[in-house]
Chain A
């Protein structure tokens, strides 16, 4: 009875919960890198550096414009790097999640598999 209950949970609610946990992990990674926010603010001034109110006159306005431009370029570079890193980590986390989800299905059979391999007597390093 208990074994049935265990298998029912492992391949039912347990697996679904695992999938939710993997999804949460992906969401957390996504939240950490906030790729959508990076995209929306790709060329926004970085940390508002140099965005003081422009001095009067053309020279002042030009200076403010160039300050802003530098700030936006810095922002663009930093955000691009972060988007690349974020995408890489997200993909890696996703692949790890898929492997975990598949592996989950086989874990209860590991003792049986182990017993069969033991009976066969094969070992990976035998004779090395």
Chain B
């Protein structure tokens, strides 16, 4: 069993070291200076007491020196035991007979304990609530601390290690972690993060070998390159950068060193999507070259990496000939200087004509082939292939190095490093949750850029939503909600919760009956906003079956309007326009070519209702394409980008089986009694394949509307018309018998309630218009339409039929 030795020499040193902080350090410095000055002054006047004072000066000096050299961070003892591995900051704060709570308080006073408090929420208050104040529980804490230290692979039991061990010592550890939305692995990652920052500081404090004053004397001046390029090496030499030692970068760095060390073609093309870290890799390579202590060949050491600025070159030489001449002079200067490695970032800008880019293949190709100048090019896969298509010789002369997207663990490590700069610039502190949330959300909502760039972009944006200078997971959620217009957090504000709880009644304000459909859709939305749905699928996928004009589309519109923020939040596709196999490409077209493709619209508006109308008319290949969407909530567009549909409600509508539904209803069946039968019939008739229908969460049958329901629809339509007329301060009422007359005229068994709106609008609006023109209706007046008024408009059956025909045409 591990025991804490309060009286060990290491513990005494640690306590003394902890005592010499802040004011005491200042006092010691002041005393040393005062003694030295006073001693010298007494000497000047010939007093022997000067000896005493000068000698005494050594006391504060040696204490300060001892503190700096040992007490500040007492090294580990010779054994693996507790007293030898506790960090001095922690060891110095632990009392003689500590309880777990005492240990927690000591840990929280250490810098690494405070780190865990800030980044993970493991604060003093948190421990005060869960940790025992009984000394009998202390040995268990020591055991856990040692085990945690070994698991984390760190040399000392720091405040961070102890914070994790104390959390683990709590009986309800798993529950607590779940409540904090953390996993055990996250806490170990936190310890590693803290340790990494400590090591980075040590690297930066370590003396640097720069090559000295004469390093560049044998190499030429580069005035042109200084003007049209950015000297990365000079930047690194002056300020340095934080290094992340990534597995994914090791191979690429080795390949770069290898290429430039041998006699082959002296170029490297780093191929990978934007945001994957190509530029970071160039920086890492440049930093490696500056390290005098590295094992690089001497002909590579201290070479300067200069990134050419294409915009500056184009701006300085407007004509093509002038530009080629200028580039030739720049290249010649690089060649003459003998220590330059040129970097063409986004190299496609130098190999194709376009806005801000110019094709300099004729100038660059001979140099790349001959290898006269060392060059690093960066570009994405597609651009490289395009160059290859145009110019196979150029393509073959490039030494390609692929940069793969790092995995989640590595992305988190990169982000931990990169946020340090943002924290310094924006005066904010990121919690660990903010980082993991940025990873999760950016993966889903940010396109056109790879990891870790996409997550970092989101973290930067989240700094604007910091809460009391803390960037939390909520800040990240708000950032994505504001920029993408999607709701990602659990509904917390009162207004939204009210809306969710009363969704059915809100939808029924503009929709009559179809209660089952309304309730199923509302439930799906409530599940999503309460955070209990499957995050790897759309919010809900529904197939609405039923005859025309029974409210299938209206429900989709109502949903978009009531919850998603307006009818414009509905992405609607008529699948009767997708009847050919080649129409699949239109479905997933790139937004730049077809902004109305399904993927382009959802990429722009990921929080929406997706309405796939008349799905039975789509080509089977189109339906197959949609399977992945229904299953996993993603669809790959033509550029192979993964577009997320996980924040959409997907509604497909179909008239298939409408006749059978009517038959069942006419025979007196209730919906619940024949829903399954209808589905089976659709499969057996070949209208849909079973694997397609099985992908939907629910298949909802809409039944034809009854006359009383049509009367209610007329009321809804009148409400809408009155809303329009409110601008003229006129309102309209229609007598009940007149409404019944309109129902008789407007109802068509084939078209449901669809002609109704036209009939009512024409009747009411025409009448009001005539009355207003005749001066019989003015502001503040209520126009009342009787049966006779309505009948006069529909004097004959034909008039109504004509209107119906117009609707259907």
A37 and B211 within 8 A (CB): yes
B55 and A110 within 8 A (CB): yes
Residues on A with C-beta less than 8 A from B12 are: 1-2, 5
A17 to chain B, nearest CB (A): 6
Beyond contacts A27-B207, A34-B215, A37-B211: 15 other A-B pairs, Cβ-Cβ < 8 A, are A13-B69, A46-B217, A47-B218, A48-B220, A51-B336, A52-B336, A110-B58, A111-B55, A111-B59, A114-B52, A114-B53, A115-B52, A118-B55, A123-B47, A123-B50
B20 to chain A, nearest CB (A): 12
The answer to the question of B65 belonging to the interface, with a C-beta cut-off of 8 Å to chain A, is yes
The answer to the question of A60 belonging to the interface, with a C-beta cut-off of 8 Å to chain B, is no
The answer to the question of B54 belonging to the interface, with a C-beta cut-off of 8 Å to chain A, is yes
The answer to the question of A100 belonging to the interface, with a C-beta cut-off of 8 Å to chain B, is no
Interface residues on A, range: 35 or more
A46 and chain B: residue at smallest CB distance: B217
A15 and chain B: residue at smallest CB distance: B69
Binary CB contact string for chain A from 99 to 118 against chain B (1 if under 8 A, 0 otherwise): 00000000110111111011
Query: What is the bound-complex CA distance between A121 and B647, given in angstroms?
Result: 89
B43 and A124 within 8 A (CB): yes
Query: What is the bound-complex CA distance between A112 and B292, given in angstroms?
Result: 46
The answer to the question of B171 belonging to the interface, with a C-beta cut-off of 8 Å to chain A, is no
Determine which residue in A5, A32, A45, A78 has the highest number of CB atoms from chain B within 10 A of its CB, and name it: A5
B61 and chain A: residue at smallest CB distance: A107
B55 to chain A, nearest CB (A): 2
A125 and B51 within 8 A (CB): no
B219 and A117 within 8 A (CB): no
Some 24 contacts from A to B, beta carbons below 8 A apart, are A1-B9, A10-B66, A13-B70, A14-B66, A31-B209, A34-B211, A37-B214, A41-B217, A44-B217, A45-B218, A47-B217, A47-B220, A48-B337, A48-B338, A52-B336, A75-B218, A108-B58, A110-B55, A112-B55, A114-B51, A118-B51, A121-B48, A123-B47, A128-B46
Query: What is the bound-complex CA distance between A87 and B43, given in angstroms?
Result: 38
The answer to the question of B1 belonging to the interface, with a C-beta cut-off of 8 Å to chain A, is no
Binary CB contact string for chain B from 32 to 69 against chain A (1 if under 8 A, 0 otherwise): 00000000000110111111111111110110011001
B48 and A9 within 8 A (CB): no
The answer to the question of B703 belonging to the interface, with a C-beta cut-off of 8 Å to chain A, is no
Query: What is the bound-complex CA distance between A90 and B482, given in angstroms?
Result: 61
The answer to the question of B249 belonging to the interface, with a C-beta cut-off of 8 Å to chain A, is no
Other-chain contact of B55, A41, A47, A51, A115 (Cβ < 8 Å): A115
Residues on A with C-beta less than 8 A from B178 are: none
Determine which residue in A10, A78, A123 has the highest number of CB atoms from chain B within 10 A of its CB, and name it: A123
Other-chain contact of A34, B50, B55, B56, B214 (Cβ < 8 Å): B214
Binary CB contact string for chain B from 203 to 241 against chain A (1 if under 8 A, 0 otherwise): 000010111111111111100000000000000000000
| Total of A-B residue pairs, C-beta within 8 Å | 130
A27 and chain B: residue at smallest CB distance: B207
A31 and B66 within 8 A (CB): no
A123 and B46 within 8 A (CB): yes
The answer to the question of B16 belonging to the interface, with a C-beta cut-off of 8 Å to chain A, is yes
Q: Which positions in B face A, CB cutoff 8 Å? A: 9, 12-13, 16, 43-44, 46-59, 61-62, 65-66, 69-70, 75, 207, 209-221, 292, 336-338
The answer to the question of A58 belonging to the interface, with a C-beta cut-off of 8 Å to chain B, is no
B46 and A125 within 8 A (CB): yes
A126 and B46 within 8 A (CB): yes
Query: What is the bound-complex CA distance between A48 and B54, given in angstroms?
Result: 56
Query: What is the bound-complex CA distance between A82 and B51, given in angstroms?
Result: 43
Residues on B with C-beta less than 8 A from A113 are: 51, 55
Residues on A with C-beta less than 8 A from B66 are: 6, 9-10, 14
The answer to the question of A28 belonging to the interface, with a C-beta cut-off of 8 Å to chain B, is yes
Residues on B with C-beta less than 8 A from A117 are: 48, 51, 55
Query: What is the bound-complex CA distance between A115 and B48, given in angstroms?
Result: 10
Query: What is the bound-complex CA distance between A5 and B9, given in angstroms?
Result: 7
Residues on B with C-beta less than 8 A from A122 are: 48
A32 to chain B, nearest CB (A): 5
A120 and chain B: residue at smallest CB distance: B48
| Contacts known (A1-B12, A51-B336); A114 close to B219, Cβ less than 8 A | no
B545 to chain A, nearest CB (A): 80
A75 and B217 within 8 A (CB): yes
Query: What is the bound-complex CA distance between A110 and B36, given in angstroms?
Result: 12
A123 and B336 within 8 A (CB): no
B219 to chain A, nearest CB (A): 6
Residues on A with C-beta less than 8 A from B55 are: 110-115, 117-118
Query: What is the bound-complex CA distance between A2 and B70, given in angstroms?
Result: 13
| Contacts known (A5-B9, A112-B55); A33 close to B46, Cβ less than 8 A | no
- Closest 4 pairs (CB-CB, A-B): A114-B55, A34-B212, A48-B220, A110-B58
B214 and A114 within 8 A (CB): no
B50 and A79 within 8 A (CB): no
Query: What is the bound-complex CA distance between A115 and B56, given in angstroms?
Result: 9
Residues on A with C-beta less than 8 A from B336 are: 48, 51-52
The answer to the question of A38 belonging to the interface, with a C-beta cut-off of 8 Å to chain B, is yes
Residues on B with C-beta less than 8 A from A107 are: 58, 61-62
B777 to chain A, nearest CB (A): 93
Binary CB contact string for chain A from 67 to 93 against chain B (1 if under 8 A, 0 otherwise): 000000001001100100000000000
B58 and A111 within 8 A (CB): yes
Query: What is the bound-complex CA distance between A49 and B54, given in angstroms?
Result: 57
Query: What is the bound-complex CA distance between A32 and B207, given in angstroms?
Result: 12
In the complex, chain A residues 24-69 whose Cβ is within 8 Å of any chain B Cβ: 24, 27-28, 31-34, 37-38, 41, 44-49, 51-52
B212 and A33 within 8 A (CB): yes
B48 and A14 within 8 A (CB): no
Residues on A with C-beta less than 8 A from B215 are: 34, 37
B58 and A17 within 8 A (CB): no
| Contacts known (A14-B69, A31-B212); A44 close to B218, Cβ less than 8 A | yes
Residues on A with C-beta less than 8 A from B209 are: 27, 31
A82 and B65 within 8 A (CB): no
Query: What is the bound-complex CA distance between A2 and B51, given in angstroms?
Result: 26
B15 and chain A: residue at smallest CB distance: A2
A111 and B44 within 8 A (CB): no
A78 and B217 within 8 A (CB): yes
Residues on B with C-beta less than 8 A from A51 are: 220, 336
A38 and B214 within 8 A (CB): yes
Residues on A with C-beta less than 8 A from B337 are: 48
Residues on B with C-beta less than 8 A from A33 are: 212-214
B65 and chain A: residue at smallest CB distance: A14
Determine which residue in B55, B65, B66 has the highest number of CB atoms from chain A within 10 A of its CB, and name it: B55
A14 and B70 within 8 A (CB): yes
A116 and chain B: residue at smallest CB distance: B51
Other-chain contact of A31, B49, B58, B211 (Cβ < 8 Å): B211
A33 to chain B, nearest CB (A): 6
Residues on A with C-beta less than 8 A from B212 are: 31-34, 37
B46 and A114 within 8 A (CB): no
Residues on B with C-beta less than 8 A from A125 are: 43-44, 46
Residues on B with C-beta less than 8 A from A13 are: 69-70, 75
Determine which residue in A14, A34, A44 has the highest number of CB atoms from chain B within 10 A of its CB, and name it: A34
Query: What is the bound-complex CA distance between A120 and B55, given in angstroms?
Result: 14
Query: What is the bound-complex CA distance between A54 and B13, given in angstroms?
Result: 71
Query: What is the bound-complex CA distance between A107 and B59, given in angstroms?
Result: 9
B159 to chain A, nearest CB (A): 23
B298 and chain A: residue at smallest CB distance: A40
B388 to chain A, nearest CB (A): 33
B63 and chain A: residue at smallest CB distance: A6
Residues on A with C-beta less than 8 A from B53 are: 114
Query: What is the bound-complex CA distance between A17 and B715, given in angstroms?
Result: 91
Residues on A with C-beta less than 8 A from B292 are: 31
A17 and B48 within 8 A (CB): no
Query: What is the bound-complex CA distance between A125 and B46, given in angstroms?
Result: 6
A52 and chain B: residue at smallest CB distance: B336
B43 and A41 within 8 A (CB): no
Query: What is the bound-complex CA distance between A82 and B215, given in angstroms?
Result: 12
B13 and chain A: residue at smallest CB distance: A5
